[in-house]
Amino acid sequence: MASGSGSNFEALVEACRAGRPQAEVVVLVVNNPGCGAAQRADRLGVPWQLLDHRVHSDRAALDRALVTVFHERGVDLVVMAGWMRIVTPVLIGAFPDRLVNIHPSLLPSFRGVDAVGQALAAGVTLAGCTAHLVSEEVDAGRILVQAAVPVLAGDDRSSLAARIQRQEHRILPLAVQLAADRLAPQG
If one looks up domain 7-183 in CATH, what number appears?
3.40.50.170
**What was the pLDDT predicted at 187?**
53
pLDDT: which is higher, 184 or 96: 96
> What kind and span of H or E run contains 92?
helix 89-94
Q: What is the DSSP string of 7-53?
A: HHHHHHHHHHHTTSSS-----EEESSTT-HHHHHHHHHT--EEE--G
pLDDT tens digits along 67-107: 999 999 999 999 999 999 999 999 999 999 999 999 999 99
- Show me where the domains of the chain are located: 7-183
**What was the pLDDT predicted at 67?**
98
**What was the pLDDT predicted at 183?**
81
For the segment 48-74, the average pLDDT, to the nearest whole number, is 97
**Cβ of 58: how many Cβ atoms within 10 Å?**
10
Determine the distance from the C-alpha atom of residue 89 to the mean position of all C-alpha atoms in its chain, rounded to a whole number: 17
State yes or no: is 103 an active-site residue.
yes
Marked catalytic residue, from 71, 103, 132, 169: 103
For the segment 172-177, the average pLDDT, to the nearest whole number, is 97
**What's the rounded Cα separation, in Å, for the pair 30 and 83?**
8
For the segment 41-59, the average pLDDT, to the nearest whole number, is 97
**Mean pLDDT computed over every residue of the chain:** 96
Confidence class for position 65, pLDDT limits 50, 70, 90: very high
pLDDT tens digits along 31-40: 999 999 999 9
**What was the pLDDT predicted at 110?**
98
**What was the pLDDT predicted at 182?**
85
